[in-house]
Amino acid sequence: MASLRVAGLTVRAGETVLVSDANFELRPGQFVALLGPNGAGKSTLIRASMGLIAADRGEASIDGRATSSLGSSERARTLSYLPQQRSLAWPLPVRDVVALGRYCHGLRGTQPRCADREAIDRAMTATDLHSLASRRTDTLSGGELARVHCARALSTESPIMIADEPTAALDLPHAFLMMDVLKSFVDDGGAALVVLHDLPLAARYASHLLWMCDGRIVADGPIDTTLTEELCAEVYGIRATIDGRRLTIEGPL
């Protein structure tokens, strides 16, 4: 199992500071929801944490090794990424897309080894995709396609998963299904960092919350201390009432 540690991470684009002095840690068994309005720097933070873009200061490391210094395959084996973009350049069959998650384990072409085949099968079971295995991805609904991408990330069997708005544009049943899949990944000892815009959904599933506003992390911690009406007001400018894990949005401030 591996932990992701981000220390003093700062990312600039020209004069603009996108992420400023971010510090947090993601440990096995944690389901961390990264919250914040559009433009808060969430996507930049996760990209820099993965080492996909260069940080101006600070460092993100997995078990003491900087993510930017890892080879691309090694990094991919430790950390799988579920991006927002779901469109595929080619209408590959579902199973072929799921198999792409094994690229970093050396799977090339269509002759998977035993370990690859098992991992692909497990990922497809977790996302309930077996019935769609040979369907072309351009014939799938948005929800089905989101599941395919999730299965692709799961088939890597990495200890850490980072997801950028995995429930965006999904209907409620699909959003719950997606969160359930991520939850069981965490329950099996994985660590998940998930960008979310749906506060009630985050309140329901996350173990920890990471609040971002204007490029800064303004709150970080277990959900019982970080799920507060004040933070909802400060970060999103909304009025919310919180009752345990139930969050109800009343309206704008």
Partner 1 sequence: MNRAMALNLTLAVLCLATLCCACLLGSTALSAGAVLSSLVGNGNPMDQVVVWSIRLPRALAAFLVGFCLGVGGAALQGLLRNPLAEPGVLGVSASATLLATLAIYYNLVALSPWILPAAAIVGALLSTTVLAAAAARTHSAVTLILIGFGLSSFAGAIMSLLLNLAPTPFSLADMVNWTLGSVANRSFADIGLALPFLFAGCVLLFRQRSGYTLLALGEEAAAAAGLGVARLRLLTVLGTGLAVGASVSLAGAIGFVGLIAPHVVRPLVSHDPARSLLPAGLLAGLLLMLADIGVRLLSSAYELNLGVLAALLGAPVFIALVVRRENSHG
Task: For residue 4, give the H/E element and its range.
Answer: strand 4-13
Does position 98 bind partner 1 by CB under 8 A? no
Does position 147 bind partner 1 by CB under 8 A? no
Residue 208 C-beta: closest distance to partner 1, Å? 22
Nearer to partner 1, 100 or 238 (CB): 100
Does position 77 bind partner 1 by CB under 8 A? yes
Question: Using CB under 8 A, which of 7, 17, 100, 238 touches partner 1?
Answer: 100
Helix, strand, coil fractions of the chain, as percent rounded to 5: 40, 30, 30
Does position 251 bind partner 1 by CB under 8 A? no
For residue 75 the two structure tokens come to 């990094």
Residue with token string 């350049």: 89
Does position 78 bind partner 1 by CB under 8 A? no
CA distance 33 to 31: 7
**Binding window for partner 1 (CB under 8 A); candidates: 57-65, 82-90, 125-133, 235-243:** 82-90
Q: Residue 193 — φ and ψ, nearest 5°?
A: -115, 115
Give one word for 210, left, alpha or beta, with left for phi > 0 and alpha for psi -120 to 50: beta
Question: Using CB under 8 A, which of 89, 114, 131, 243 touches partner 1?
Answer: 89
Does position 168 bind partner 1 by CB under 8 A? no
Give one word for 221, left, alpha or beta, with left for phi > 0 and alpha for psi -120 to 50: left
Residue 73 C-beta: closest distance to partner 1, Å? 4
Does position 87 bind partner 1 by CB under 8 A? yes
Contacts (CB under 8 A) with partner 1, residues 189-248 = none
